[in-house]
Every structure is written in structure tokens, then in C-alpha cells.
């Protein structure tokens, strides 16, 4: 029995369903990422769990039903996409706000705030005003403020997506470290699978208001429920029918109706079982990215940087099975 | 079911303001209107329609329409260049000029009427122009008040207007004139339409200014209502006109709401650097100077005249304020009226603030369904109605519905403050609504998920954003109440008069001393409201004047 359980949760706006019958389970101390394209209802789901949207269905914490509890009594802190820091309060007073609400003695507040700012890497920023901070710093303050509430459950709404790419990656690693160190149970909503992998233990994939797949992140990764999910999880292509069969045969596996392949599943190797003609080459800092026309159709492949390949060359390819996933029949619906 | 519960909660929170509006606005207006429709115990709608066919009534309607239209056009023509100059261009003395130009809005009509008389009247320096008692004088008075409305409303929008589309047009080869025509003015259209609608509304319901400058020769719908109820006791005629006015005002308010629906300039503001004054700004400078003359001329002549006693300078008129005037003009000294006015204004201010805050909160809370959104929009419109309903109708309605059982409030000291609070209510609501709309609801939610109860969230999220606008609204309400004349003139008791009423009485009584006292009292009243308004200006609340 997990700590958080969401059962058959639905949210409607003017009779238009935004979330339909969502179920979620999460054990204490773990981080769940809800992954889905924008507009799929994942933020609404998170807000409903926080108690900010009127919803049908049940939300329970350690078996106790909190569905009819107002947001401020649930003990679930929500960190917003854009931080939502109180603009008139200094960083330290923002972080200390949940403590002051709980009538924590002043000395203790100061100590806790300093500790939290240290944790998020902003020691010495206490007297600054939010408007003087960069986007990444604001999100760190928002995280520290949410943690200061000592929430039973931390809800993160696209915590990193407003930031630029390099910063996002660094902050994702920090976020993972901070959540693990604090032993926080958390649900994070994101549309970026890299972010989900960097931070979460469990994954729930959401599409058009429904949760289509959920489980430990490695399981979901290895066995996407359908082609769309596979593509959303970062697989480059989904092969079906004869193309899938040919690739599987080359790898020495029994045929399956569909196969998702990552870009790096095919590597140029002189002893590879597949062969084809290079149609496009692009150089990236780490490797060559090729498009190769094979018997299984156009496929993406990679090669080491010291390999020479040009459009028109014929190359042999090796299949790395750990970078593919066999899908259930696409027509099962 | 959830939705029903939310609508019920909305109804519950709206109950108190609705009740106040119902008893102190709906009831008096309905009583006044009903009085006209019911003749000899039966409904007589035909008689009301006959009234509208009377020649003097048709003259009043036509006079109202054309003077208000001309005044609206002129207010925009003078106000738009000034708004541009004050909000987009940097030059020394800008803040002072802005203060001078936006103050007239709250000056009491009685004061302005006296000031204009001094300038263009028989002994005035501009007597030779022959403007005294002409429609031109009335229109000038209306422009005096309302150019400041245009400056406020359009200036706020212009100040935060994103300059980049204009720059893009210029980069594509558009001349400054073409940029103005093709980019800037279309972007400002909602603000201009909104300002023009409100100005027309103010002009069409202007009372004191028409009464003091038009005398008996020219009469608008509003003064006609006054004449019919107060002098001729023709309630049927007054009711017919009131209904007509109410209908027109409702239509105008709907139009204003539609114009407002475009994103509010106060919310997503862009900081724009002011340009230096250039040669191309000369036309705008010239127009602004004309407006400055129109504003300063009458006020300066008022101050000068109040200091002239028998051909020399002196403060005798001001000292005389401690007396009740010559020939028993008044029952109490003017200083008593000052104290009384201040006391009433304080009461009216807190009443309109409480009501306005409740209304603004109700109107701006996020709706979760279409029905709820409609309900809130309807409430929004309902509480704007006092903006356009004749203050005379309101005052007289108070007299006939609240002056006898079951609601005998005639001797209640709260009657005048309540009436004035209702007159000020739309202004208060309009100052607060854009600010509350501008607060991101998610900030309140962030507070809630951190454990703050709704009341605590109010303290950390709403209060820091609203305290300045609240102060500004208080200033508005206070100034409005100090100068209110239309409704007060019906309700006031002779032994407890307000300052505007005293000024009007003093003008009406013969004698140099009385006239001198009227001037001095006008200066005192005008200076007080101007001072309040200058403090409001210092608060730099962007939404002041968003109607």
C-alpha cells in the first residue's frame, strides 16, 4: 500500500473533461514523474491532487481520504512552473513563510531558512528580492520554500521547463539530489522525458486526460504501451510489420508486430548483420548521425566520429537490443 | 452539484452589497420612477410617453445630446495630445503639469461653476466674449472636467504601450504619422472608446455645471429632472426623463464594458523609456497649452477674486467664513459646514471602500463555469449603475422612499453619507478591479499549498498589491463626497449643511459679503479636494481612472 493513492479522479471545465478517471500510486520516499505533451491535463491532475481544482474521485494519503480537505490543510506543497514567489518579500522571508504560518520560533526559522538556502545552493541570497534573481535562482528559492513547509507530499509543476537547456540539466540533477537527501515523496509533472529520467523513480504517461501507462521508470522505458508512448519517451522511430520483423531477425529475435528503436540502437560496424545506403550524415559533438536506407526502410543510425561516411556509401549496421523495445500489437487499441 | 454550490457561495458573498444597493439605490430609484408611472392609483404608461413629446422636454433631450457630444469630442481632442505628452515624452516640469491637468476631475461642480462665472461673467476679464450663459460656456465647463478623464484613461494605456510594433512599422518605411494612424491609434482604440464613453456619460448626467452656467435658459435632461421635481412637482415628467436616462446609461455602460474587454493595460505592463521633446511634438505642446489655459484660467480668477476686497487685497472673505453670512443667508457659520462636510466625507469614504472592496472581490474571483462567469459579469454591471443614474433622481428617491415608515431614515445622520457612498462606489470599484484582476490567482494557490488559510493568503498576496490602490480609492471617494451636490442638495437639513450646498446658497443670496464668502468657501473646498487628489497622484496607482 503506497502513501499516495489517487482513484478515478476526473476534472471537467464547463462539461469538457480535462482529466478522466486517473489512478496514481506512490510509495513514501519515491518520486513520480507524470509525463505528457502540453495540454494533456497533467497540470490539472497535479492541481486536483493539491486541492486547487474541484474534482470527482478520491485522493488518499496513507489510507486517509483527503478529497474534501481544502488545499491549505492537505500538507501537499505545490511548486509552480514560474515559482510564484511573493514579490514583496525577500528570499529569506519567502522561504520562511510556511514556517511563520506554523508559528515556528524566530530563531528556529532563521536556522531552517539558512539550511534550506544552503541545500539549494543559494547561501547568502537571503536579503535579495525575487525580482533581482535569475530564472534558475527563483526556481531554487521556490523549491526551498516548498521544502520549508515540510510537506507530506511535494508537487512540482514543470519545475524546470521555464529555464534554458544547460541550466535545466544542471538543476534537474540538483533537484534529484535534494529530493533524495530530504527523503521527500514527490510528484513532478513534465513534458520532457530527459527531465523525468533525471529526477524520478516512477513514471506515469498521460495523454488526452488519461493515464496510459504507469510503473517504475525502467519498466515503462523498456516496455512502452503503444507507439505514441514510445515516441514520447524518446524512441526515434516505431517500426511495424515487415520492417520490424527484418530488424528483429537481424538481431536474432522472434518476430513481433511493432518495435521501437532509439537513434543509437543501430551502430555502424563492419561485421553487422544489416546493410544499407547512407542518405544523410550530420556531425554532432559526440558522434555521427546517419540516416540509412535498409531493407527495413529508412532507419536512424550512429557512428563513431572517426568513421568516414558520406551519402551514397553502403554501410553495415549492428543492432543494440537494449536500445529497442518490443511493443504490443498496435491494432489492439 | 459542485457548480450549484459555487453559485450559492457567490450569492451569499454578494448578499450584503446587493442588499445595500437594493435598499439605498434600487428602492429610491424605483420609488421615484414608480411615482411617475402610477397616477391616481393606476398604471399610466401613456402619460409618461406623452411627457416625452412635450417641446421643453424634447429641447432638453436634444440639448443634452449635442452638448455632450461636442464636449466629448473636444475632451478627446484636447486630452489625447496631452496624454501623449505627459506619458511618452520627458521634459522638465512634467509631473507638475500632469498634476495640474488631472486635478479638475474631482473638483466640485459648484466650485467650477463659480470660477467660470468669474471669468466670463458680466464683470469678468472675458466678459467681452459674450460667453456668459451660452451653451459654449457649458461645453467649456464639461471639457474642463473631462479632458482629465481622457488623460487618465488613455495616458495609462499609452504609457505601457509596447513600442515595438510601431518600430517594426517604421522599419518597414512608415512615417511617424503613418505609425500613429496604422499602429498606435488602433492599439489605443479600446482605451479611447472607453474614455469617450465615460466622458459622454459624465457630460450627459452633469448637474451642477449646467445649473450654475446654464441658468434657466438652457436645461439638460438632468437639470430638467431637478426642475420638474423640485420646482414644478411634476413627478410624471421627472420619472419619464429618469427612465430615459437610465436606459441610455445602461446602453452606454454595456458599450464601455465591451470596449474594456480587451486586455487591460494595467495588467501586462511594458516599461517604456520616455523620449526627449522633439520638434515634431510641437502640435501636441500647443494643444496642451490650450488645455492648461482652460484649466488654470478659471481657477486663478477664483483665487484672485477671493483675495480682493473692495478694490484691495485682503483675507476678509476668509475671515467671514466664521459667520453665517449677511441677511441670514445661512443658519450656521460656514466653518460648521466645513466640519460637517469633512465628517460626512469620512463616513462616505469608509462605506464606499467597504462596499467597493466587497464588490471588486466578488467580480474578480476566477469563475469555473459559464453560469458563474455570467453571474459575476452581471454583478459588475449592476454596481456600475450609480455612475449614470441622475444624482437628482437618487436624492429625490431617497426623500420619498426612505423618509417614511417602514424605512424612516429622514433624520438619520447616515442618509447623506450613504447616498454619497453610492455615488462614489463605481469609481472605487473601477480603481480596485484592475488591480485584483492583475494578481495571479496562482500566487494565492502557492500560499494555500504552503499551508496558508484563505485569510492568511489574503494577507501575503492581496494586501501588498492592494493597499496603495485602496488608499487611492479612498482619496477618490473622499474628494467625490466632499464635492457631491446633486443628491446632497435634496437630503441636507438647513442647520447641518455641507460646503457645496452652502456655496450654492451664498451665491443665490444678494450682498457682496455673501458673494465674497462663496468665493472663499469655493477656494477652501477646491483646495481640499485638489490636495487629496495630489496625494492620490503621488501613489502612482496605474489603475486610477480605468473605467
ipTM: 0.76
Closest alpha carbon to A62 in A112, A28, A37: A28
The closest CB to that of B451, out of A14, A88, A102, belongs to A102
pLDDT for A214 equals 93
Averaged pLDDT, A303-320: 86
Where exactly are the structural domains of chain A? Answer: 4-227, 237-327
**Which CATH entry fits the domain spanning A4-227: 3.40.50.300, 3.30.1490.20, 2.30.42.10, 1.10.357.10?**
3.40.50.300
Work out the minimum CA distance from A150 to partner chain B, whole angstroms: 9
Averaged pLDDT, A47-74: 90
Averaged pLDDT, A175-179: 90
What is the CB neighbour count within 10 angstroms for residue B237?
24
Give B219-280 as a 3 state SS string. Answer: CCHHHHHHHHHHHCCCHHHHHHHHHHHHHHHHHHHHHHHHHHCCCCCCCCCCCCCCEECCHH
The nearest alpha carbon in chain B to A102 belongs to B451
* Residues in chain A, overall count: 333
Tell me if B452 and A54 make a contact (CB, 8 A cut-off). Answer: no
Work out the minimum CA distance from A78 to partner chain B, whole angstroms: 6
- Residue whose cell numbers read 483675507: B315
- Angle (nearest 5°) at CA B545 between B544 and B546: 100
Question: Are the beta carbons of A265 and A318 closer than 8 angstroms?
Answer: no
Q: What is the CATH number of domain A237-327?
A: 2.40.50.140
pLDDT for B542 equals 62
Q: At how many degrees (to 10) do helices B463-483 and B512-538 cross? A: 170
Tell me if B446 and A13 make a contact (CB, 8 A cut-off). Answer: no
With 0-12 / 13-18 / 19 or more C-beta atoms within 10 angstroms meaning exposed / middle / buried, residue A7 is middle
Q: What is the distance between the alpha carbons of residues B505 and B261, in angstroms, rounded to a whole number?
A: 44
Averaged pLDDT, B173-184: 82
- DSSP bridge partners of A291: A280, A300
The nearest alpha carbon in chain A to B457 belongs to A72
The nearest alpha carbon in chain B to A79 belongs to B446
Question: Are the beta carbons of A189 and A42 closer than 8 angstroms?
Answer: yes
Lowest average pLDDT, out of B51-65, B95-109, B138-152, B393-407, goes to B393-407
- Angle (nearest 5°) at CA A123 between A122 and A127: 90
The percentage of residues in chain B with a pLDDT greater than 90, rounded to a whole number, is 11
Q: At how many degrees (to 10) do helices B55-88 and B185-204 cross? A: 140
Could you report how far apart the first and last alpha carbons of chain B are, in Å? 36
Helix (H) or strand (E) holding B371: helix B370-382
Interface test with chain B among A13, A14, A109, by most B beta carbons within 10 Å: A14
Q: What is the distance between the alpha carbons of residues A232 and A210, in angstroms, rounded to a whole number?
A: 15
Q: Which residues contact A271 (CB under 8 A, 6 or more apart)?
A: A316, A318
Q: How does pLDDT run across A185-206, given as a tens digit for each residue?
A: 999 999 988 889 999 999 999 9
Closest alpha carbon to A227 in A148, A326, A135, A104: A326
Work out the minimum CA distance from A249 to partner chain B, whole angstroms: 54
Q: Which residues contact B513 (CB under 8 A, 6 or more apart)?
A: B317, B320, B325, B326
Tell me if B443 and A86 make a contact (CB, 8 A cut-off). Answer: yes
With 0-12 / 13-18 / 19 or more C-beta atoms within 10 angstroms meaning exposed / middle / buried, residue B206 is buried
Averaged pLDDT, A137-161: 90
Per-residue CA distances from B518 to A53, B114, B299, B330, B508 (Å): 61, 8, 14, 12, 10
The closest CB to that of B448, out of A14, A71, A155, belongs to A71
Tell me if B460 and A71 make a contact (CB, 8 A cut-off). Answer: no
pTM for the model stands at: 0.78
Q: What is the distance between the alpha carbons of residues A36 and A188, in angstroms, rounded to a whole number?
A: 11
Q: How remote is the C-alpha of A91 from its chain's centroid?
A: 28
Averaged pLDDT, B478-494: 85
Q: What is the distance between the alpha carbons of residues B64 and A130, in angstroms, rounded to a whole number?
A: 53
Q: What is the distance between the alpha carbons of residues A222 and A240, in angstroms, rounded to a whole number?
A: 17
- DSSP bridge partners of A9: A22
Question: Are the beta carbons of A98 and B447 closer than 8 angstroms?
Answer: no
Task: Decide which of B70 and B544 is more confident.
Answer: B70
Q: Is the pLDDT assigned to residue B33 strictly greater than 70?
A: yes
Q: How does pLDDT run across B413-466, given as a tens digit for each residue?
A: 788 898 889 888 888 888 888 788 888 888 888 999 898 888 888 888 888 888
pLDDT for B543 equals 56
Q: How does pLDDT run across A258-311, given as a tens digit for each residue?
A: 889 888 888 888 888 888 899 999 988 888 899 998 877 888 889 888 888 888
Kindly state the cell numbers that stand for A80.
509552480
What residues of A are in the B interface, CB distance below 8 Å? 13-14, 47, 50-52, 54, 70-78, 80, 84, 86-89, 97-98, 101-102, 145-146, 148-149, 151, 155
Q: How does pLDDT run across B1-16, given as a tens digit for each residue?
A: 466 777 777 777 788 8
The nearest alpha carbon in chain B to A144 belongs to B450
Q: What is the distance between the alpha carbons of residues B139 and B299, in angstroms, rounded to a whole number?
A: 17
- Residue whose cell numbers read 505592463: B269
Q: What is the distance between the alpha carbons of residues B32 and B239, in angstroms, rounded to a whole number?
A: 6
Amino acid at each position: 500500500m503506497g502513501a499516495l493513492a489517487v482513484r478515478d479522479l476526473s476534472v471537467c471545465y464547463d462539461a469538457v473533461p480535462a482529466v478522466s478517471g486517473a489512478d496514481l500510486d506512490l510509495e513514501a520516499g519515491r518520486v513520480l514523474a507524470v509525463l505528457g505533451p502540453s495540454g494533456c491535463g497533467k497540470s490539472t491532475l497535479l492541481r486536483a491532487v493539491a486541492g486547487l481544482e474541484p474534482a470527482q474521485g478520491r485522493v488518499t494519503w496513507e489510507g486517509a481520504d483527503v478529497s474534501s480537505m481544502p488545499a491549505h490543510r492537505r500538507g501537499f506543497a505545490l511548486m509552480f512552473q514560474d515559482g510564484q514567489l511573493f514579490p514583496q518579500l525577500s528570499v529569506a522571508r519567502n522561504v520562511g513563510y510556511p514556517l511563520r504560518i506554523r508559528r515556528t520560533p524566530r530563531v528556529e526559522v532563521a536556522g531552517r531558512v539558512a539550511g534550506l538556502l544552503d541545500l539549494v545552493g543559494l547561501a547568502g541570497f537571503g536579503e535579495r528580492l525575487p525580482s533581482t534573481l535569475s530564472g534558475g535562482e527563483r526556481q531554487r528559492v521556490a523549491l526551498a520554500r516548498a521544502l520549508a513547509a515540510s510537506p507530506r507530499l511535494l508537487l512540482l509543476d514543470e519545475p524546470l521547463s521555464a529555464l534554458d537547456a544547460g541550466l535545466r540539466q544542471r538543476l534537474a540533477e540538483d533537484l534529484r539530489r535534494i529530493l533524495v537527501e530530504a527523503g521527500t515523496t514527490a510528484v513532478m509533472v513534465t513534458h520532457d522525458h530527459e527531465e523525468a529520467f533525471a529526477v524520478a523513480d516512477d513514471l506515469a504517461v498521460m495523454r488526452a486526460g488519461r493515464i496510459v501507462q504507469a510503473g517504475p521508470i525502467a519498466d515503462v522505458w523498456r516496455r512502452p504501451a503503444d507507439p505514441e508512448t514510445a515516441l514520447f519517451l524518446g524512441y526515434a522511430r516505431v517500426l511495424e510489420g515487415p520492417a520490424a520483423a527484418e530488424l528483429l531477425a537481424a538481431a536474432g529475435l522472434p518476430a513481433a508486430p511493432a518495435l521501437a528503436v532509439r537513434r543509437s540502437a543501430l551502430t555502424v560496424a563492419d561485421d553487422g548483420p544489416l546493410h544499407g545506403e547512407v542518405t544523410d550524415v550530420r556531425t554532432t559533438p559526440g558522434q555521427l548521425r546517419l540516416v540509412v536506407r535498409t531493407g527495413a526502410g529508412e532507419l536512424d543510425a550512429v557512428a563513431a566520429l572517426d568513421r568516414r561516411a558520406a551519402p551514397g556509401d553502403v554501410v553495415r549496421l549492428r543492432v543494440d537490443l537494449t536500445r529497442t523495445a518490443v511493443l504490443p500489437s498496435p491494432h489492439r487499441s | 452539484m459542485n457548480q450549484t454550490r459555487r453559485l450559492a457561495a457567490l450569492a451569499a458573498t454578494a448578499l450584503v452589497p446587493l442588499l445595500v444597493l437594493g435598499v439605498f439605490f434600487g428602492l429610491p430609484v424605483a420609488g421615484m420612477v414608480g411615482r411617475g408611472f402610477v397616477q391616481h392609483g393606476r398604471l399610466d404608461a401613456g402619460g409618461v410617453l406623452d411627457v416625452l413629446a412635450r417641446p421643453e422636454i424634447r429641447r432638453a433631450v436634444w440639448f443634452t445630446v449635442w452638448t455632450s457630444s461636442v464636449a466629448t469630442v473636444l475632451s478627446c481632442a484636447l486630452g489625447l495630445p496631452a496624454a501623449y505628452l505627459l506619458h511618452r515624452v520627458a521634459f522638465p516640469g512634467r509631473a507638475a503639469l500632469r498634476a495640474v491637468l488631472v486635478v479638475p476631475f474631482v473638483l466640485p461642480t459648484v466650485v467650477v461653476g463659480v470660477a467660470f462665472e468669474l471669468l466670463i461673467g458680466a464683470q469678468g476679464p472675458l466678459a467681452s466674449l459674450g460667453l456668459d450663459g451660452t451653451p459654449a460656456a457649458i461645453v467649456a465647463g464639461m471639457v474642463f472636467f473631462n479632458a482629465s478623464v481622457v488623460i487618465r484613461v488613455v495616458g495609462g494605456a499609452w504609457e505601457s504601450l509596447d513600442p515595438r510594433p510601431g518600430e517594426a512599422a517604421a522599419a518597414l518605411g512608415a512615417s511617424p504619422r503613418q505609425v500613429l494612424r496604422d499602429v498606435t491609434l488602433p492599439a489605443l482604440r479600446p482605451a479611447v472608446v472607453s474614455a469617450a464613453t465615460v466622458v459622454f456619460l459624465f457630460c450627459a448626467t452633469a448637474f451642477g455645471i449646467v445649473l450654475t452656467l446654464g441658468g434657466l435658459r438652457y436645461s439638460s435632461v438632468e437639470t430638467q429632472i431637478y426642475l420638474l421635481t423640485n420646482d414644478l412637482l411634476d413627478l410624471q415628467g421627472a420619472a419619464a426623463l429618469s427612465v430615459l436616462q437610465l436606459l441610455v446609461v445602461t446602453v452606454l455602460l454595456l458599450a464601455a464594458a465591451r470596449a474594456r474587454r480587451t486586455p487591460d493595460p494595467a495588467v501586462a505592463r511594458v516599461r517604456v523609456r520616455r523620449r526627449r521633446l522633439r520638434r515634431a511634438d510641437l502640435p501636441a505642446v500647443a494643444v496642451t497649452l490650450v488645455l492648461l489655459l482652460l484649466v488654470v484660467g478659471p481657477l486663478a480668477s477664483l483665487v484672485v477674486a477671493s483675495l480682493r476686497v473692495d478694490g484691495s487685497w485682503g483675507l476678509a472673505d476668509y475671515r467671514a467664513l466664521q459667520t453665517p453670512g449677511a441677511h441670514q443667508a445661512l443658519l450656521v457659520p460656514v466653518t460648521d459646514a466645513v466640519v460637517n462636510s469633512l465628517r460626512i466625507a469620512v463616513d462616505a469614504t469608509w462605506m464606499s471602500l467597504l462596499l467597493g472592496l466587497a464588490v471588486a472581490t466578488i467580480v474578480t474571483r476566477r469563475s469555473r463555469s459559464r453560469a458563474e462567469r455570467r453571474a459575476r459579469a452581471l454583478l459588475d454591471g449592476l454596481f456600475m449603475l450609480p455612475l449614470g443614474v441622475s444624482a437628482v433622481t437618487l436624492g429625490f428617491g431617497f426623500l420619498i422612499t426612505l423618509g417614511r415608515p417602514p424605512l424612516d431614515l429622514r433624520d438619520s445622520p447616515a442618509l447623506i453619507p450613504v447616498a454619497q457612498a453610492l455615488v462614489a462606489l463605481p469609481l472605487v470599484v473601477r480603481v480596485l478591479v484592475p488591480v485584483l484582476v492583475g494578481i495571479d490567482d496562482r500566487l494565492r494557490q502557492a500560499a494555500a499549498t504552503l499551508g496558508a488559510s484563505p485569510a492568511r493568503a489574503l494577507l501575503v498576496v492581496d494586501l501588498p498589491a492592494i493597499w496603495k490602490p485602496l488608499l487611492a480609492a479612498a482619496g477618490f471617494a473622499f474628494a467625490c463626497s466632499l464635492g457631491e451636490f446633486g443628491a446632497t442638495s435634496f437630503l441636507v437639513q438647513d442647520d447641518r449643511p455641507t460646503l457645496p450646498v452652502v456655496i450654492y446658497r451664498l451665491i443665490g443670496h444678494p450682498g457682496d459679503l455673501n458673494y465674497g464668502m462663496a468665493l472663499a468657501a469655493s477656494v477652501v473646498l477646491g483646495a481640499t479636494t485638489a490636495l487629496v487628489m495630489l496625494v492620490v497622484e503621488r501613489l502612482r496607482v496605474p489603475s486610477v481612472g480605468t473605467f
